[in-house]
Amino acid sequence: MTGVFDIEPGPISPPAGPSTRRRQVLVAGGAVLAAGAVIAGVLTAGSSGHGRAQHAAVTSDGLPHTSVEVSPSACGHGWSRPKTGQQVFDLRNTSSAASEVDLTDPRTGAVYGEIEGLAPGTARPMQVTLGNGTYAFKCLPDDADAVTGPTVQVTGATGKSGPAAVPVTQQDLIPLTLSYQKWIQARTVELAKKTEALSAAIDRGDLRAARAAWLSAHLVYERMGAAYGTFGAADKAINGTTAGLSGGVHDTRFTGFHRIEYGLWHSEPAGSLRGPADRLVKDVRALRDNWPQQRMDPAVLGLRAHEILENTMQSELTGRTDYGSGTNLATARANLDGTRVLLGCLRPLLKTRDTGLTLLDSSLNRTQQTLDEQQHDGRWTPVAQLDRTRRERVNSAVGALLEQLADVATLTDVRRTA
């Protein structure tokens, strides 16, 4: 990769708080796997008493099915005649507690299939492709220790197994998160200096210089997207929009970069911008000074790699956050830089889990080139002025990259192992 990715060692992240995104598929090779791969948590069979109609729906796929018991005392029981190739395990929870179920390689811990939240008395299908090797079901009931079922040897396969990934633990992510937090600390120092330069230009009435200083400072902030959630209320104060403000751009609660952007590009006099600029400097300095005491959640590190550009797609490529500068694509480019930094942190884990890193690198470079093509003589084309062809190219590049980053989020999701 190029750019920030090569410069920064590693760490990651945006909105804080535990991830609520449900894992539904196991990902490998840089692509979400469909038929012939691992599918989990997609279909719910409901109660085991739903009768023939439901049984027919599950087995009409033409694949061999094996009924497997899920419980602390009989985890994996029922799988006595192993088959090779694509197949379905109908997992039945016969216990009194909800459970997660993984199909694993007991030697390495690699997961070939997973189902979350299998309720008592229900059954759900797990579709996998099995090649030669050893396998075992691991049952992880709520509020109880994990139980690994009997090891099963599969032989005689003519093809390879479907994808698998060794689970990532919180301990794996802690050093990467700490490294990223140090990177953010350096950015807060840089941000404070640039917002002070913006305020100084406004103080002396040089609005042309202020517009250039505004963009320079704002892009520093936009590269820090993986940490926004940890910023808490500071994020809204520094980079909030008019969303939810009854007075719109004239609301006294409208502060930060976008308040100053509106004034700079709507011919407000310097005197009216001194107050918002002074407050921005104050808020940024507080963020810089308080950041060493903050702690990011390692468990959401991989998810943030996807969420940064997801937010870019929703807010920047639609022009929703343009208050006059027309620099949404510059912001998108800064968000891409932030994503590279995050992936730089995650790369030690991805190298051993994701065979599609080369494709991901190519997609990152393609997206960067597509965005850079929208800058001419130091000026960025406003989103509203993109013709249809260029708009489609930008959306397509970011959209394709988002799909690959969803795989990163899945592979680096913290999984329970005990």
Q: Which fold has domain 34-154?
A: Immunoglobulin-like (2.60.40)
Digit-coded pLDDT (tens) for 28-55: 333 233 222 333 332 223 333 333 333 3
Average of per-residue pLDDT across 104-109:
94
Per the structure block, which two tokens stand in for 379?
Answer: 């000026």
Look at residue 58 and tell me whether its pLDDT is greater than 80. no
Percent residues over pLDDT 90 in the chain: 80
- HSE-up (13 A, CA, CB side) for residue 257: 27
Domain boundaries, the chain: 34-154, 170-411
pTM of the model: 0.81
DSSP 183-234: HHHHHHHHHHHHHHHHHHHHHTT-HHHHHHHHHHHHHHHHTTGGGHHHHTHH
Backbone angles phi, psi at 236, to 5 degrees: -65, -40
Digit-coded pLDDT (tens) for 6-18: 223 333 233 333 3
Q: What does the alpha-carbon distance between residue 360 and residue 364 come to, in Å, rounded to a whole number?
A: 6
Beta bridge partners of 118: 99
Average of per-residue pLDDT across 323-329:
98
Q: Which fold has domain 170-411?
A: A middle domain of Talin 1 (1.20.1420)
The confidence band for 200, taking pLDDT boundaries of 50, 70 and 90, is very high
pLDDT, residue 59, reads 59
Q: Which of 46-60, 233-247, 297-311, 325-339 has the lowest mean pLDDT?
A: 46-60
Q: What does the alpha-carbon distance between residue 304 and residue 15 come to, in Å, rounded to a whole number?
A: 7
Beta-sheet pairing, 123-130 with 133-141: unpaired
Average of per-residue pLDDT across 269-279:
98
Average of per-residue pLDDT across 105-120:
94
Q: What does the alpha-carbon distance between residue 298 and residue 295 come to, in Å, rounded to a whole number?
A: 9
pLDDT, residue 121, reads 97
Burial class (CB in 10 A: 0-12, 13-18, 19+), 2: exposed
pLDDT, residue 354, reads 78
Q: What does the alpha-carbon distance between residue 158 and residue 129 come to, in Å, rounded to a whole number?
A: 11
Domains 34-154 and 170-411 share a fold: no
Digit-coded pLDDT (tens) for 171-199: 999 999 999 999 999 999 999 999 999 99
Per the structure block, which two tokens stand in for 267?
Answer: 């011919």
Q: What does the alpha-carbon distance between residue 384 and residue 377 come to, in Å, rounded to a whole number?
A: 19
**Residue 321 DSSP code:** T
The confidence band for 299, taking pLDDT boundaries of 50, 70 and 90, is very high
Average of per-residue pLDDT across 163-172:
90
pLDDT, residue 356, reads 83
Average of per-residue pLDDT across 254-259:
98
Average of per-residue pLDDT across 355-375:
95
